[in-house]
């Protein structure tokens, strides 16, 4: 289980390590992981290390010592060391013959001209924006030189907590991040500055790491372990009955996409309820047209309720009224699109999943879309507190908020930025709920299957992939996730 850190979490973890006398060892591990990153990606040539005055600079000085010991040509330009461990690692580097020169603009210009790779150990999680002018000048010169950069922990000048970019941070080809990734390394546009992100978890007790983490990012095997296994004697009645409540005139495709995805995720019986005439394009889907869905469901016999339903796709302005009617059924419920309305605040229950994209999340919270995208962790948490149940804040990656905490998903494909992908996810989630997965697990498994099916479909269709291509790959996605589990066994 990978932990996602905000700066305050790193600070608290560092304090705990300090109390245990382990902080020095953690810095040693961090710097060594940075040196290993340089060795594996840029094994040849002269290494220029830029070290700041805090612990990030200390990591840089440790990395310099390891690279020097490995026989690399190493040049270190450093600010005066303020952190005690940074000072001691400066002494250690000198003790084995390394040199450290003051970091000035002329020295940087000279060394950049001769460097084959640069290590950015200027600023890490202790950075408080904005970048001060003297350092900003150095960063601009570094970026202008166009040398490959390996950033330690995160590119200097990025605010670790946020997805937004203020000013000009260091542009890195590789980022070796310590303890766990930071939001700036996971979410765009900040993440675009980090290049390839490699996580060096550091061997600190897992319990400490999780205590101070803002979110977790499960690995594939952990998600695979949650995949439901169906008994051999299952039949269509036990494999999960799903309803899709959606569609309206001119919006008839959305519920079909949800229904298709539910079938491809293994739902036994899928029925579409709509007030509009839906085209019978998928023979396995049952279609029920009713002139007034609210009247239909108002006195619906309890015994004939489905195992789960998804609601809102193409449904139009009647969606909140239907949500108020169906949420008290207390069955697995996915709310999407038109069912994502602020008036439903507080109505979520333990088995319901809200699936807003950033613009819908902004509507739900009464803020602007940039307020959502700059800090997806905070937005997902605020949505969960306001609406109850489980929230999937869609994006690349998606953020899942449960009553127990926050999760960040993995995977996906840029081609998934097309219409109907949300409808597909809703159908997947409803099928998993109908199959008996509790909402938090259904959210994690569903988002992962959706992303992975998108990857498979993306290999074939690139940016031209469409939502039904994703559904077509759900079986393969499920199988490949299961394979990840057996590999780990």
The secondary element (H helix, E strand) that includes residue 270 is: strand 269-274
**Residue 56 marked ligand-binding:** yes
What mask of x and - would describe binding to K ion in positions 131 to 170, judged by CB under 5 A?
A: --------------------xx---x--------------
DSSP 8-state symbol, 81? P
In angstroms, give the least distance from the CB of 108 to ligand NPW.
15
β-pairing, 117-121 vs 149-152, is parallel
Q: Helix or strand or coil: residue 14? A: helix
322 contributes a contact to K ion by CB under 5 A: no
Which of 160, 421 has the CB closer to K ion?
160
Which of 126, 422 has the CB closer to ligand NPW?
126
**Residue 254 marked ligand-binding:** yes
Which of 195, 314 has the CB closer to ligand NPW?
195
In angstroms, give the least distance from the CB of 179 to ligand NPW.
3
**Residue 268 marked ligand-binding:** no
Binding site for ligand NPW (CB under 6 A): 10, 13-14, 26-27, 30, 52-59, 82-83, 123-132, 135, 152-153, 178-179
**Residue 156 marked ligand-binding:** yes
SS (H, E, C) 348-401: CCCCEEECCCHHHHHHHHCCCHHHHHCCHHHHHHHHHHHHCCEEEECCCCCEEE
In angstroms, give the least distance from the CB of 289 to ligand NPW.
58
CA geometry: angle at 404 spanning 402 and 409, to 5°? 50
271 contributes a contact to K ion by CB under 5 A: no
Dihedral through CA 127, CA 133, CA 138, CA 139, nearest 10? 50
**Residue 265 marked ligand-binding:** no
Structural contact between residues 182 and 160, judged by C-beta atoms closer than 8 angstroms: yes
Q: Around 283, how many Cα atoms within 13 Å sit in the side-chain half-sphere?
A: 0
Which of 61, 442 has the CB closer to ligand NPW?
61
Which of 32, 482 has the CB closer to ligand NPW?
32
Question: In whole angstroms, what is the distance from residue 396 CA to residue 47 CA?
Answer: 34
In angstroms, give the least distance from the CB of 145 to ligand NPW.
20
SS3 content of the chain, % helix, strand, coil (to 5): 45, 15, 35
In angstroms, give the least distance from the CB of 128 to ligand NPW.
4
In angstroms, give the least distance from the CB of 56 to ligand NPW.
3
State the binding partner of 52 from ligand NPW, K ion, none, CB within 5 to 8 A by kind: ligand NPW
**Residue 130 marked ligand-binding:** yes
Number of other CB atoms surrounding residue 40 within 10 Å: 12
**Residue 118 marked ligand-binding:** no
Question: In whole angstroms, what is the distance from residue 228 CA to residue 97 CA?
Answer: 59
- How big is the site for K ion, counted in residues (CB under 5 A)? 4
Which of 31, 312 has the CB closer to K ion?
31
Residues 94-123 that bind K ion (CB under 5 A): 120
Question: In whole angstroms, what is the distance from residue 220 CA to residue 400 CA?
Answer: 16
Which of 14, 336 has the CB closer to ligand NPW?
14
In angstroms, give the least distance from the CB of 171 to ligand NPW.
17
- Taking CA atoms, 84 is separated from 39, 254, 454, in Å, by 27, 60, 48
DSSP 8-state symbol, 482? H
β-pairing, 241-245 vs 308-311, is parallel
State the binding partner of 54 from ligand NPW, K ion, none, CB within 5 to 8 A by kind: ligand NPW
**Residue 387 marked ligand-binding:** no
Binding residues for K(+) are: 56, 120, 156
Q: Where do contacts with K ion occur on this chain (CB under 5 A)?
A: 120, 151-152, 156
Binding residues for (6S)-NADPHX are: 55-59, 124-130, 153, 254, 314, 357, 423
């Amino acid at each position: 289980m990978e932990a996602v850190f905000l700066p305050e979490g790193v600070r608290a973890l560092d304090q705990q390590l300090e109390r245990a006398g382990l902080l020095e060892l953690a810095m040693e591990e961090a710097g060594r992981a940075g040196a290993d990153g340089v060795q594996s990606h840029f094994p040849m040539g002269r290494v220029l290390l830029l070290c700041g005055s805090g612990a990030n600079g200390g990591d840089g000085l440790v990395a310099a010592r390891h690279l020097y010991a490995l026989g690399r040509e190493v040049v270190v330009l450093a600010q005066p060391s303020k952190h005690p461990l940074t000072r001691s690692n400066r002494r250690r580097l000198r003790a084995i013959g390394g040199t450290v020169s003051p970091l000035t603009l002329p020295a940087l210009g000279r060394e950049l001209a001769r460097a084959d790779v640069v290590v950015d150990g200027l600023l890490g999680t202790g950075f408080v924006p904005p970048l001060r002018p003297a350092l900003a000048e150095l960063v601009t010169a570094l970026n202008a030189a166009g040398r490959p950069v390996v950033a330690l922990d995160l590119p200097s000048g990025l605010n670790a907590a946020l997805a937004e970019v203020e000013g000009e941070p260091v542009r890195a080809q590789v980022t070796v991040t310590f303890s766990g990734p930071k939001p700036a390394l996971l979410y765009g546009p900040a993440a675009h500055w980090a290049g390839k992100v490699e996580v060096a978890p550091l061997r600190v007790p897992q319990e400490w790491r999780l205590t101070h983490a803002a979110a977790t990012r499960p690995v594939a095997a952990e998600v695979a372990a949650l995949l439901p296994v169906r008994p051999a004697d299952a039949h269509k009645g036990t494999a999960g009955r799903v309803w899709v409540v959606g569609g309206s005139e001119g919006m008839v495709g959305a519920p079909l996409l949800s229904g298709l995805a539910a079938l491809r995720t293994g739902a036994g019986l899928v029925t579409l309820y709509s007030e509009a005439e839906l085209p019978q394009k998928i023979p396995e889907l049952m279609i029920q047209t009713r002139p007034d869905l609210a009247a239909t469901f108002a006195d619906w016999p309890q015994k004939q309720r489905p195992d789960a339903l998804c609601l809102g796709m193409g449904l139009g302005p009647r969606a909140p009224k239907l949500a108020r009617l169906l949420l008290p059924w207390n069955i697995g419920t996915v709310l999407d699109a038109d069912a994502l309305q602020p008036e439903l605040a507080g109505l979520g229950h333990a088995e319901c999943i809200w699936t807003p994209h950033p613009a819908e999340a902004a509507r739900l919270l009464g803020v602007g879309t940039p307020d959502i995208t700059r800090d997806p962790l905070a937005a997902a948490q605020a949505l969960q507190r306001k609406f109850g149940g489980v929230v999937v804040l869609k994006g690349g990656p998606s953020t899942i908020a449960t009553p127990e905490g926050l999760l960040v998903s993995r995977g996906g494909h840029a081609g998934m930025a097309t219409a109907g992908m949300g409808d597909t996810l809703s159908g997947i989630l409803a099928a998993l709920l109908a199959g008996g997965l509790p909402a938090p697990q259904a959210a994690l498994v569903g988002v992962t299957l959706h992303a992975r099916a998108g990857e498979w479909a993306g290999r074939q269709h690139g940016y031209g992939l469409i939502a039904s291509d994703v559904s077509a790959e759900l079986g393969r996605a499920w199988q490949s996730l299961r394979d990840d589990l057996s590999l780990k066994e």
